[in-house]
Chains A and B, each alone.
Chain A
Amino acid sequence: MAILFGSQEWADKVCEELNSSQIYKEAAKNWEGDMYIIVEPDATFKQRIIVYFDLWHGDCRSACIVKDENEKSPKYRICGPFAIMKQILDKKVDSVQAMMTGRLKVKGDMAQIMRMPRAAVEFVNGMTTFETVFPD
């Protein structure tokens, strides 16, 4: 069953997928740091969506939808326009390619990402293992 992007159910499902993935657990075993996925409005979608993930040593401890960006102070922020996020989740665009071109921006401690690039890739993969439906 497809889950609506940006809903609490969607955030919970990503968390569940990460926690059941041995590949993510192994790749992120030393990962310390929570994260915002920030979906910026664009021509196709006018809302801003912020999803928070508490990631710690290969586990997703919690995930929630955040209304105000100042609500939490995560170590990382992955930001991108809705159209790019949709393409990544639909597996039409590779997340690494989006990061390299700068269409998807990563803010935070780059040193940790450079030490654990697989963790970042597997985190995004965790969002693509189930069917997502997008708001109109």
Chain B
Amino acid sequence: MVSKKRNTFEWGRLKMAGIKIKQGEELNGLGEMLKEIIDGNLKDPKKYRSVERLKASVVIREATSGVAITLHFKQGEVEIQNDAVDEPTACMEAGFENLAYISSGQLSPIKAILTGKLKASGNLLTLLKISSITVLK
């Protein structure tokens, strides 16, 4: 019973969390689009829990423009910043349309990698884990 109450409290706290923007930054267009999706997904405790313990930095890049953002996962917090960091845990790159199809759940990330629509590098398991919050379902 105690544990159940604690979970409820935690879920309430997390529900308000959302994604943080790196201090002093105005997000680029790619970041704004992804932020809206991630914010929506983080309201779902089940989705949040799938990345809660993740410690990683993931770069997402739009191939045509070269515009990138980095997502940082640490201590239960998710932060977004413009541009790519050096040596991220994982990196994914695709054109706008394919990124949109992946983010909207119309194209599975695995299928996208296998068909060459998505270039992925680094820890692929991390990429799959974060898809629970970067993909609309």
Residues on A facing B (Cβ under 8 Å): 94, 96-106, 110-111, 113-115, 117-118, 121
Query: Interface extent on B, as a size class?
Result: 20 to 34
| Structural contact, B64 and A96, CB atoms closer than 8 A | yes
- Name the contact of A111 in the complex, choosing from B29, B96, B97, B136 (C-beta under 8 A): B136
Residues on B facing A (Cβ under 8 Å): 26-33, 36-37, 40, 62, 64-65, 67, 96-97, 100-101, 103-104, 106, 136
| Structural contact, A110 and B37, CB atoms closer than 8 A | yes
Minimal beta-carbon separation of B11 from chain A (angstroms): 23
Which residues of A have CB within 8 Å of B26? Answer: 102
| Structural contact, A100 and B101, CB atoms closer than 8 A | no
| Structural contact, B103 and A114, CB atoms closer than 8 A | yes
Which residues of B have CB within 8 Å of A114? Answer: 33, 37, 100-101, 103-104, 136
Which residues of B have CB within 8 Å of A94? Answer: 64-65
Given the complex of chains A and B, what is the CA–CA distance between A103 and B27 in angstroms? Answer: 11
Given the complex of chains A and B, what is the CA–CA distance between A94 and B96 in angstroms? Answer: 12
Nearest opposing residue in chain A for B30, CB measure: A100
Which residues of B have CB within 8 Å of A97? Answer: 64-65, 67
Minimal beta-carbon separation of B100 from chain A (angstroms): 4
| Structural contact, B29 and A100, CB atoms closer than 8 A | yes
Given the complex of chains A and B, what is the CA–CA distance between A100 and B103 in angstroms? Answer: 15
Minimal beta-carbon separation of A23 from chain B (angstroms): 14
Minimal beta-carbon separation of B84 from chain A (angstroms): 13
| Structural contact, B100 and A101, CB atoms closer than 8 A | no
